Amino acid sequence: MDQLIQFYNQNDLLIWLLIFTIILGFEVISKVPSVLHTPLMSGANAISGIVIIGAIVLIRQAAPDDYVTLGIGTLGIVLGMTNVVGGFAVTNRMLEMFKKKK
């Protein structure tokens, strides 16, 4: 319990921020027409590629001869980048049908 309280006291702003972010996440997605479910999922998926930043930080802090880290990190970047670029691109293609008429 004490640990929890301590943790809260140290991180109270972060916790509020997280909770507000979650509420935002809920709020942002409301009343979506079902045709947009797939593009929305795809767009959200591309954003979840934000994990790539972890790989970037990892590599940037790795020793230049730490080939395990570098190799795995680079693989991570390849995967993450595919997710990000492919994700946004494919979403964009899906959304082409919504181009404004006239």
Partner 1 sequence: MEFQFFIDVALLLAAIMFIIGLRRLSSPDTARTGNLLAAFGMGVAIIAMLIYPLHSATNNYLWIAGGMVVGSVIGQQAAMKVKLTAMPQLVSLFNGFGGACAVLLGFIELYKATHGQSQPGVGELLIVVFTLLVGSVSFTGSMLAFAKLDGRVKDRKVTFRNHQYLNMAFIAITLGMSVYIAVAYPAVSFGLVIAFIIVSLIYGFSFVAPIGGADMPVVISLLNSFTGLTAAAAGLIYDNQIMLLGGVFVGAAGTILTVLMCQAMNRSLLNVVIGGFGSSASSIAPGATGDKVARSITPADAAILLYYSKSVVFVPGYGLAVAQAQKDCKELDELLEANGVSVKYAIHPVAGRMPGHMNVLLAEADVPYPKLLDLDEANPIMDQTDVVVVVGANDVVNPSAIDEPGSPIYGMPVLEVWKAKNVIVMKRSLSVGYAGIDNPLFYHERNHMLFGDAKQSMQELAREVKEL
What's the Cα-to-Cα distance from 97 to each of 76, 92, 102, rounded to whole Å?
33, 10, 13
11 binds partner 1 (CB under 8 A): no
Shortest CB 10 distance to a second copy, Å: 11
Among 4, 13, 63, 97, binds a second copy (CB under 8 A): 13
How many Cβ atoms sit within 10 Å of the Cβ of residue 45? 16
75 binds a second copy (CB under 8 A): no
10 binds partner 1 (CB under 8 A): no
32 CB contacts (<8 Å, ≥6 apart)? Answer: 40
Site for a second copy in 21-40 (CB under 8 A): 21, 23-24, 27-28, 31
What distance in Å separates the CA atoms of residue 8 and residue 78, rounded to the nearest whole number? 37
Contacts with a second copy by CB under 8 A lie at 13-14, 16-17, 20-21, 23-24, 27-28, 31
